[in-house]
Amino acid sequence: MNDDDKSFFLKLRQGLSKTRKGFIRNLDEAILGEKVISEDIFENLEEILIGADLGPAFTGDLIDDMKYRAKRDELENPDALRRLLKDNMLEILKKCESPLRIPKGEPYVIMVVGVNGTGKTTTIGKMASRFRRNEIPLLLVAADTFRAAAIEQLGIWAERVDVPIIKQKMGTDPSAVVFDAIHAVESRKAVMLVDTAGRLHTQSNLMEELKKIKRVMDRELPGAPHETLLVLDATTGQNAVLQAKMFHQEIGVTGLALTKLDGTAKGGIIIRIARELEIPIRYIGIGEALDDLRRFKSEEFVDALFEQ
């Protein structure tokens, strides 16, 4: 682990402190010091896991596995339950550990979706900064034309990261903005990061709008969007799961970015999302700084969560 990775691990560990205090501490209090594995321990564990937003499916499977192993004398003491939990979490998350692979020398379109307030535009800005450092040619696209603030915010990021932006005035058809951008990105062989609207109070209209944008992309550049990235706010807990299911069902999500893990005790929701949806987790966000959005690494995440 190089110095940069060590620094991020410390930030990640600090960022997950609320989750660790609310989850791991309760876990340790329930099992450490116990001499034998009793039914009471299983009941306490189930309550703790559900309360930590790990979800009923993961919790049920885990408790069943623990009971089975206990009957076969494969668990020598209650502390072994902690190790089994950690191993199970890692196994679930590893299946969703899949970094974004961007081919060189050809246009690549990333359509970023999510409800307002999840940190969608900020995530785009941080992704742009990462790509810029790796000398990947970029184009930002302001396709959330329903809020002047969204267009302005993306423009600020474009200036900050020093990349071009395609935008039009508020109220313009988002598909028209995307149409112009597709033809610009083809000639530049660049990566196109597309910001979209996220107004859940008009859910059906929002989804139809996003579907229309995808149709225009595919028509003008077959295969686009190459990535449909859903940004979720970890602080919303179970609402993040519902949003993921809705967006995935309606438009098809190919990757996730989970933000604001540093501001929540509900970091365990990442397990539920991974277990129930099995969508690749591309990025996690643990702070406001440019480099606080990082590629998701399952082992690093679980170690940071469990380390005392």
Q: State the burial class of residue 218 (Cβ atoms within 10 Å of its Cβ: 0-12, 13-18, 19+).
A: middle
For residue 155, pLDDT beyond 90:
yes
What is the b/e burial string over 220-251, where b = at least 16 CB atoms within 10 angstroms of the residue's CB?
bbeebbbbbbbbbbbbbbeebbebbebbbebb
Q: How many whole angstroms separate alpha carbon 148 and alpha carbon 154?
A: 10
Q: 158 near 131, Cβ under 8 Å? A: no
What is the per-residue pLDDT for 166? 94
Pairing status of strand 255-259 against strand 281-285:
parallel
Q: What percent of the chain has pLDDT over 90?
A: 45
What DSSP string runs through 70-98? HHTT---STHHHHHHHHHHHHHHHHTTB-
At 59, is the pLDDT very low, low, confident or very high (cuts 50, 70, 90)?
confident
Q: What is the pLDDT of residue 1?
A: 57
**Is pLDDT of 202 > 60?**
no
Distances (CA, A) of 120 to 58, 218, 256: 28, 22, 11
Position 120 scores a pLDDT of 92
- Looking at the DSSP assignment, which residues form a beta bridge with residue 257? 231, 283
For residue 220, the Cα-to-chain-centroid distance in whole angstroms is 28
- In order of 192, 242, 252, the CA distances from 141 in angstroms are 7, 27, 20
pLDDT at position 184 is 86
């299911």: which residue's tokens? 245
**pLDDT band with cut points at 50, 70 and 90 for residue 2:** low
Of residues 63 and 140, more confidence is placed in: 140
**What single DSSP character describes residue 38?**
-
Structure tokens at 36: 């034998």
Structure confidence by residue, pLDDT tens digits, 95-153: 999 999 998 888 999 999 999 888 899 999 999 999 999 999 999 999 999 888 889 99
Would you list the DSSP string of 10-22? HHHHHHTHHHIII
